[in-house]
Amino acid sequence: MLSPLTISLDAMGGDAGPEMVIPGAAVALERRPDLSFILYGQESEVKPLLDRHPSVARAARFVHCDVAVRMDDKPSQALRVGRWKSSMWRSIQAVRDGEAHVAVSAGNTGALMAMSKFCLKTPPGIERPAIAAMWPTLRGESIVLDVGATIGSDARMLVHFAVMGAAMARALFGLERPTVGLLNIGAEEVKGVEEVREAGHILRELDHPNFHYHGFVEGDDLGKGTVDVVVTEGFAGNIALKTAEGTARQISEYLRSAMTRTLAAKVGYFFARSAFQRLREKMDPRKVNGGLFLGLNGLVVKSHGGTDAEGFASAVELGREMVLGDLTRQIASDLRYTFGDGETSGASAEAAPA
């Protein structure tokens, strides 16, 4: 294994590009001094920021790239134009070539997934990768996948997601046998679409030694933290994620408005401000920023494009935890146990989605 732990960063990714990535790397380095970076980006934009953040400059190697993938590029276009030349591609390639343990980018999600799949490929038996997100709950945190990589999944793919999500829960939470649930419109076995019911039957019969299948969970179970891992297909998962983010912002605005409406409310806020501060920290989306691409022969983390340095640092730290948890090996081992060694990889160098 590389030493120290090395993370390749797409310095041009995200709404603010290097203006967010370099300070984010500095925050992550302050918390986790065992990190080193390989920075891929355009020299004219990155080098001045490294001068302002000498701690990152000391811990990083910089590689100039001529091309930066735009946030509005189609994945197929980005793959065609940016392959081998862009900061996004080079950061992923560093993982493939053993130069870095994990890649982190805040860039175009579709382009990052297309390049990651093309460059790293998928393990035997995995047809499509999934994006796994951290989800704050009343019990702490859960993992939800898929939150947008694959629209529409058959039963077998949902089982793949369950196996990979459980491996991530073991690596991240230190759980011996995390609980897994399938997101459905009801807890009863007869409810839901056929693919979900079939996946539930497979998981129950499988009785996997490395996770416990809880059964179906509903939308309100996401916030309760009923299970450690919630499995769904990407369309429903992405809607659930965006709904939760919007609801958190809505509640924050309600509270802000209520606490400043009258003098009595302002006085009450003064005495309860520490409690409200803890609430804001709990609801802060930057604390759980970072979606992990599961189902690849290597680790890639997608940061929210509009986050700040604090949020990007969280994505970097998620990548670090997955390396230390040896997630790629755990997933490969669990997939072999579940499906055997006879399956053929579903990810040769196929075309990227348009």
350 occurs within a structural domain = no
Closest to 197 in 3D by CA, of 159, 250, 234, 223: 159
In a structure prediction context, what are the per-residue pLDDT tens digits for the chain, which is 354 residues long?
A: 455 799 999 999 999 999 999 999 999 999 999 999 999 999 999 999 999 999 999 999 999 999 999 988 888 888 887 778 899 999 999 999 999 999 999 999 999 999 999 999 998 878 889 999 988 888 888 999 989 888 888 999 999 999 999 999 998 898 999 999 999 998 888 888 899 999 999 999 988 889 999 999 999 999 899 999 999 998 988 898 888 878 777 777 777 777 777 777 677 666 666 665 665 665 556 666 789 999 999 999 999 988 999 999 999 999 999 999 889 888 888 888 777 654 433 333 333 333
Q: Are both 232 and 272 inside the same structural domain?
A: yes
**What span, in angstroms and rounded, lies between the C-alpha atoms of 156 and 233?**
11
How far is residue 112 CA from its own chain's centroid? Answer: 12
pLDDT for the residue numbered 289: 79
334 occurs within a structural domain = no
Give the pairing type, strands 179-183 and 5-10: unpaired
136 occurs within a structural domain = yes
Q: Are both 231 and 276 inside the same structural domain?
A: yes
CA quadruple 80, 86, 87, 91: dihedral sign: positive
Give the pairing type, strands 299-302 and 291-294: antiparallel
106 occurs within a structural domain = yes
| Residues pairing with 6 in the sheet | 36
348 occurs within a structural domain = no
How far is residue 56 CA from its own chain's centroid? Answer: 23
Q: Are both 41 and 113 inside the same structural domain?
A: yes
Estimate the share of the chain in helix, then strand, then coil, as percent rounded to the nearest 5.
50, 20, 30
Q: Are both 149 and 186 inside the same structural domain?
A: yes
pLDDT for the residue numbered 286: 65
How far is residue 289 CA from its own chain's centroid? Answer: 7
Q: Are both 247 and 303 inside the same structural domain?
A: no
Please state the domain count of the chain.
2
Give the pairing type, strands 35-41 and 5-10: parallel
* Angle at CA of residue 334, ends 353 and 202, nearest 5°: 80
pLDDT for the residue numbered 59: 96
Contact (CB, 8 A) for 292 and 132: yes
Closest to 105 in 3D by CA, of 77, 68, 132: 68
Q: Are both 236 and 250 inside the same structural domain?
A: yes
84 occurs within a structural domain = yes
43: Cβ contacts below 8 Å, ≥ 6 apart: 62, 64
CA quadruple 51, 300, 27, 2: dihedral sign: negative
1: domain CATH number is 3.40.718.10
pLDDT for the residue numbered 344: 38
pLDDT for the residue numbered 118: 92
188: Cβ contacts below 8 Å, ≥ 6 apart: 216
**What span, in angstroms and rounded, lies between the C-alpha atoms of 112 and 271?**
46
pLDDT for the residue numbered 253: 77
**What span, in angstroms and rounded, lies between the C-alpha atoms of 206 and 213?**
9
**What span, in angstroms and rounded, lies between the C-alpha atoms of 236 and 190?**
19
* Domain range for 6: 1-122+296-307+316-325
Q: Are both 23 and 162 inside the same structural domain?
A: no
Beta strands in the chain (DSSP E): 5-10, 35-41, 60-64, 102-105, 130-137, 140-145, 179-183, 212-217, 229-231, 291-294, 299-302
Closest to 286 in 3D by CA, of 258, 264, 313: 313
Q: How far is CA 139 from CA 177, 224, 314, 322, in A?
A: 17, 7, 20, 21
Q: How far is CA 198 from CA 153, 190, 192, in A?
A: 12, 10, 10
Q: Are both 188 and 202 inside the same structural domain?
A: yes
Q: Look-up: residue for tokens 């996401």?
A: 222
